[in-house]
Amino acid sequence: MRFAIKTRPEHTTWEQLRDVWVAADEISLFESAWNWDHFYPLTGDHTGPNLEAWTMLGALAQATRRIRLGCQVTGMIYRHPAVLANMAATVDVISGGRLELGLGAGWNQEECDAYGIALPPLRERFDRFDEGVEAIVGLLSQPVTTLTGRYVQLTEARCEPKPVQQPHPPVTIGGRGRTRTLRTAARWAQQWNTLNVDVETWLSLRGTLAEHCSALGRDIGEITCSVNVRMDEGIAQAAETASAFGEAGADLVIVNLPLRADPGVLAPLAEALAPLT
């Protein structure tokens, strides 16, 4: 089993987040670090600060040297897929090929209402998501991409420079929708992630993903199956929960650090998790 961390860019400062990622970069147990793609805090006072995901990744790519970087996950509704593809390629270049490309359909009604961003009904949202993922993968991996979709139209579109990682940075698709999300993950993802689930639910969702992979002629072993574990109740509880998911077959556990976590928590966390590798 492998390990990563996730920081919450809400109610905090750039300096605090940067220091945690720089500290994680020095601990080889943590293979990647993640943020989220929101504009409002998700907890507490929603009028408080929340740092933007992708500009943060670009800066952290320069502040770190080893650890892989990702957004868990980028809401497709917030940026045109072609714009997002160019952003991803640039961050992958800046980081020297360390980007994990997290993608999701989006869901936050409060943000969409505030900014005048359309949040389509669920079916349309996932239709747009499917087309968006296809467009992004094409732009990152092909010299030119033409796509005649209902929502995304590309005509001999280019994305240059290409990312360092070929054919494209690994795609992480986050979510637990059994019909649409897991089917899209089976088609495109190199990692599937979910959060806020117990072990039994995670196993059931992984089974559904395996069924979609089988229908597409794909081996689920090609997909890293990851899960988020919260550390709000302390390091020992996080390690115990991680162990349970490891026994269930999780490939990667992403430890969600508490708000404004001190960098000093990472070494004892790594020590507690090391026996599970």
Q: Where are the domains of the chain?
A: 2-276
- Residue 194: predicted pLDDT: 96
Q: How many alpha carbons lie under 13 Å from residue 215 in its C-beta half-sphere?
A: 13
- Residue 150: predicted pLDDT: 97
- Residue 252: predicted pLDDT: 98
- Residue 149: predicted pLDDT: 96
Question: Is residue 89 within 8 Å of 164, Cβ to Cβ?
Answer: no
Q: In the structure, what pLDDT confidence band is assigned to residue 110 with cuts at 50, 70 and 90?
A: very high
Q: Average pLDDT for residues 84-98, to the nearest whole number?
A: 98
Please give the DSSP secondary-structure letter assigned to residue 241. Answer: H
Residue 274 CA to residue 277 CA, distance in Å, equals 6
Question: Is residue 93 within 8 Å of 163, Cβ to Cβ?
Answer: yes
pLDDT tens digit string along 128-165?
999 999 999 999 999 999 999 999 999 999 999 999 99
Cα dihedral 58, 59, 61, 67, rounded to 10, equals: -120
Query: pTM score, two decimals?
Result: 0.95
Average pLDDT in the chain: 97
Q: What sign does the dihedral 248-181-97-222 (CA atoms) show?
A: positive
Q: Average pLDDT for residues 70-75, to the nearest whole number?
A: 97
Q: In the structure, what pLDDT confidence band is assigned to residue 257 with cuts at 50, 70 and 90?
A: very high
Q: In the structure, what pLDDT confidence band is assigned to residue 46 with cuts at 50, 70 and 90?
A: very high
State how beta strands 224-230 and 191-194 pair.
parallel
CATH number of this structure's domain 2-276? 3.20.20.30
- Residue 11: predicted pLDDT: 97
The CB density around residue 269, as the number of other CB atoms within 10 Å, is 24
- The helix (run of H) or strand (run of E) holding residue 229 is strand 224-230
Q: Average pLDDT for residues 251-262, to the nearest whole number?
A: 96
Q: In the structure, what pLDDT confidence band is assigned to residue 37 with cuts at 50, 70 and 90?
A: very high
- Residue 145: predicted pLDDT: 98
Residue 264 CA to residue 239 CA, distance in Å, equals 17
In 230-245, which positions are buried (b, 16+ CB within 10 angstroms) versus exposed (e)? ebeeebeebbebbbeb
Helix-, strand-, coil-residue percentages of the chain, each rounded to 5: 45, 20, 35
